[in-house]
Amino acid sequence: MKDPPESILTHIRQHALAFRKVYSQTAECEYYANVCPRCDAFAGDHFLHAPSSVFFPTDERDVEQLRIVDVPIAEPMTIVADAGFNTWVSRVFD
């Protein structure tokens, strides 16, 4: 995410304490991302969305570990995103 409304950031930070704006040398831009609460290193999109990573489950056990949280949106916002799906995506939303 690049510039979400403050209300969205507040809600996300209640569930993901190590979430802040960082600069990615690979992407050559700043965006909000998860960072390590111990060493402050950030996990780039590739590492979060690669097969067998936290957001790319490849088996039932991985799917069962996901936790989906509704984010209330009280104001208009524009989202620019790419989507990629694997065969497990339908299991997540069952």
For the stretch 34-55, pLDDT in tens is 888 889 888 777 777 777 777 7
Whether residue 54 contacts residue 68, with contact meaning beta carbons closer than 8 Å, is answered with no
Looking at this protein, which amino acid is placed at residue 18?
A
pLDDT of residue 14: 86
Across the chain, mean pLDDT equals 78
Span 52-69, average pLDDT = 81
Is there a domain that residue 81 lies in?
yes
pTM comes to 0.61
Which contiguous run of DSSP H or E holds residue 62? helix 60-65
Tokens of 44: 């780039």
In a domain, 1, yes or no: no
Query: Which domain, by its residues, includes 26?
Result: 6-92
CB atoms within 10 A of CB 31: 15
Count other C-beta atoms under 10 Å from residue 47's C-beta: 12
- Is it the case that residue 61 has pLDDT exceeding 80? yes
* 15 lies in some domain: yes
Instruction: Estimate to the nearest angstrom the gap between the alpha carbon of 21 and the chain centroid.
Output: 12
Please give the pLDDT value at position 80: 67
Percent of the chain with pLDDT over 70: 81
Alpha-carbon gap, residue 88 to 59, rounded angstroms: 7
- The verdict on residue 74 lying in a domain is yes
